[in-house]
Amino acid sequence: MDDLGWLGLACDLARLCPPSTTAFSVGAVIVDANGREIARGFSREGDPHDHAEEAALAKAGILVGRAGRLRGATVYSSLEPCGARASRPRPCAELIVASGARRVVFAWREPSLFTAGTGAEILAAAGVEPVELPELADRAREPNAHLL
């Protein structure tokens, strides 16, 4: 599968999110350097404060001491990973940097509804390539229409 296919899957996962008036519905998929899926997640999947990237990283074992394990991987997220958050100490952009992933492909820049969208800048500053595919932005916005 190519970038559009994986990102389309992430957009589909966003539809599985329990509704919220205080957070975006986001889906994420982590793919290794050989194009194999490692993990997937969506916002509020296991906890009301879970972000999609965080849920997928947890399934990949990254949040339990395996930092750097995803060297060469790509994270696909329907929304730009957060650069700041109130519900947890580390935003998703920082968690992705620590994971060792080399690229993050996303469909939609985070609107400044809850916080400033600075995830792409954090990723780029740390040497992780942010790639925006705006042709899927409408699909990423769909499960968030009630917020916009």
Q: Which of 45, 53, 80, 110 is catalytic?
A: 53
Q: How far apart are CA 55 and CA 45, in angstroms?
A: 7
Alpha carbon distances (Å) from 148 to 41, 50, 141: 23, 21, 9
**142 catalytic, yes or no?**
no
Using CA atoms, how far apart are residues 83 and 95, in angstroms rounded to an integer?
10
Give the H or E element holding residue 5. Answer: helix 3-14
Residues 98/104/106/111 CA torsion (nearest 10 deg): 40
Active centre residues (catalytic): 53
